[in-house]
Chain A
């Protein structure tokens, strides 16, 4: 009996990524409950939302049976990528707003407060247009202009250009926000998020253009690990040790002072 090694690695990567995101999403939900401040509670909620979106995308793209599901002829996995992008952009926006609030001088990082009013329509409009075109393309008898548009280099350049431009702007604003954040723990959290968005952008480019499966698996695993680190650094978390220790049984972690 021969074993397809590539498919086995792909399945294993999917399983690991799924477990990591499931765990991190649960942790995010726990943090939502634990935080008192509305801003941080909202941050934890967005972590849950993005985690769920990525889980859905992971299942839709890899799980047996589910990955064959189509909606209006369109593969479910393709639509869930768009869903993850919608949530990821909103997540990035909320995170940047938190960095603006944390800055002592409340500086408008890269004019984000103004930029977001243009960025939302641009980003979501971009995704909506490609979704519509994909649905049209999968019609039993698609209009002839659809394939012309989808395959035109100009359209692809505008689609990817807007996508990457907006994501790059998010990454830039997060990076500058991180540098301006006085809290070292949050700064580390933001830098890790920058890395996560970078990996996400590379993953999208690979998905839509190169489609190299080993690279896809590597980026998925790296993304899952980085996402785990990002969530764990949202707030320093100590660990309760076993009974029997002295009164100081709670040992702080994450490098935060006691």
Chain B
């Protein structure tokens, strides 16, 4: 098992985190904190000595600023494939090179546990036909899982019709959905684990909060 970087989420997922050699998808609207889950996942890997790769369509400086904003020290950083600020560029117009560079980076680290976090799933799905992207991601996921790696991908739920998301979710071993909910006048950010390899279906919703010292997850009591 691979730690999520959030102890309370590890407990929720059976004390150890995400399954080995798995692909995890986090779906939610912008701003809700999907990236924060990715940052804590990568941070946990860096602390444990795993090889961590962050594939993003944003500049490295933006991601680092975001990381600091969620209380994550940027003394140790992952290897980057980013739109700018990284030796390997992430060009959304060239999905093949993103896949190739990701797989090459993972191959260079055979023998180590690998964590790949990425936010390019939604952009690539928007910019390319679903059928080709389905094949693209299924191949990428399969190849990454042949190594000792965990893929952590983010998807923006407002960018895709429901059928597209449902199709893409089938490629992943775990799916976490985050969104805002209203209870009376209050608005609360909640998530639910839609599926997770090796776990029975987890019913119910969980409240999460991000502070300067970490992320906390507790069952949501209505």
CB distance from A95 to the nearest CB of B (A): 13
B31 near A236 (CB under 8 angstroms)? Answer: no
- A182 engages B165 (CB within 8 Å): no
Decide if the interface of chain B is mainly helix, strand, loop or mixed. Answer: mixed
Give the CA-CA distance A37 to B31 in the complex, in Å: 5
Whose C-beta in chain A lies nearest to the C-beta of B160? A257
Q: How far is the CA of A102 from the CA of B29 in the complex (A)?
A: 12
Q: Which residues of chain A are within 8 angstroms of B156 by Cβ–Cβ distance?
A: 182-183
Q: What separation, in Å, do the CA atoms of A78 and B200 have in the docked complex?
A: 63
Interfacial chain B residues near A26, Cβ < 8 Å: 185
Contact partner, A39, options B31, B122, B166, B210, Cβ 8 Å: B31
Q: Are B126 and A238 closer than 8 Å at their CB atoms? A: no
Instruction: Tell me the smallest distance from the CB of B158 to a CB of chain A, in Å.
Output: 4
Question: Are B127 and A243 in contact, CB atoms less than 8 angstroms apart?
Answer: no
Q: Are B157 and A236 in contact (CB under 8 A)?
A: yes
Decide: B29 and A240 in contact? CB cutoff 8 A: no
Instruction: Name the B residues within 8 Å of A35 (CB-CB).
Output: 31-33, 189
Residue of B nearest to A243 (CB): B222
Q: Which residue of B lies closest to A247 (CB)?
A: B203
In the assembly, what is the distance between CA of A68 and CA of B59, in Å?
53
B window 41-81: CB within 8 A of A: 57, 62, 65-66, 69-70
A189 → B minimal CB distance (Å): 10
Partner of B189, one of A36, A184, A249: A36
1/0 per residue, CB under 8 A from B, across A160-190: the answer is 0000000000000000000000111110000
A104 B66 Cβ-Cβ under 8 A: no
B182 touches A238 (CB 8 A): yes
> Among the listed A106, A184, A235, A243, which residue makes an inter-chain contact with B32, where contact means beta carbons less than 8 Å apart?
A235
> Is B162 among interface residues, defined by CB-CB distance under 8 A?
yes
Q: Which residues of B11-27 have CB atoms within 8 Å of chain A's CB atoms?
A: none
Q: Which residues of A contact B158 (CB under 8 A)?
A: 183-186, 236, 256
Indicate whether A159 reaches chain B with its CB closer than 8 angstroms: no
Flag whether B187 is at the interface (Cβ < 8 A).
yes
Bound Cα distance A247, B83 (Å): 41
Min CB–CB distance B195 → chain A (angstroms):
13
Most buried by A among B36, B92, B166, B222: B222
Does B179 sit within 8 A of A, measured CB to CB? Answer: yes
CA distance A230 to B157 in the complex (A): 18
Q: Does B190 contact A (CB under 8 A)?
A: yes
Please give me the residue from chain A that is nearest to B205 by CB atom. Answer: A250
Q: In the assembly, what is the distance between CA of A105 and CA of B126, in Å?
A: 13
**Within the assembled complex, what's the spacing in Å between the Cα atoms of A205 and B158?**
36
When distances are taken between beta carbons in the complex, the residues of chain A under 8 Å from B29 are: 183, 185, 235-236, 256
Chain B residues with CB under 8 Å of A240's CB are 181-183, 222
Cβ of B198: which chain A residues have Cβ within 8 Å of it?
none
Give 1 or 0 for each of A224-245: 1 = CB within 8 Å of chain B CB. Answer: 0000000000011111100100
Contact with B along A98-128 (1 / 0, CB 8 A): 0001101110000000000000000000000
Partner of B187 from the list A27, A40, A258 (CB cut-off 8 Å) is A27
Asked if B185 and A37 sit within 8 Å, CB to CB, the answer is no
The residue in chain A whose Cβ has the minimal distance to the Cβ of B62 is: A101
A33 partner residues in chain B, CB cutoff 8 A = 187
Please give me the residue from chain B that is nearest to A33 by CB atom: B187
Interface residues of A in 107-157 (CB under 8 A from B): none
A240→B188 CA distance, assembly (Å)? 10
A98 to B158, CA, bound (A): 16
- Indicate if A31 sits at the interface (CB-CB under 8 A): yes
Whether the pair B30, A186 counts as a contact (CB closer than 8 A) is yes
If A37-B33, A184-B158 are given as contacts, then 13 extra A-B residue pairs at C-beta distance below 8 Å, sorted by A number, are A27-B187, A30-B186, A34-B32, A35-B31, A35-B33, A36-B33, A37-B32, A40-B32, A235-B180, A237-B187, A239-B181, A247-B203, A256-B157
The 6 closest A-B pairs by CB, nearest first: A40-B31, A36-B33, A257-B162, A247-B203, A185-B158, A30-B187
Q: What are 6 of the A-B contact pairs (CB < 8 Å)? A: A35-B32, A37-B32, A40-B32, A182-B123, A186-B158, A257-B161
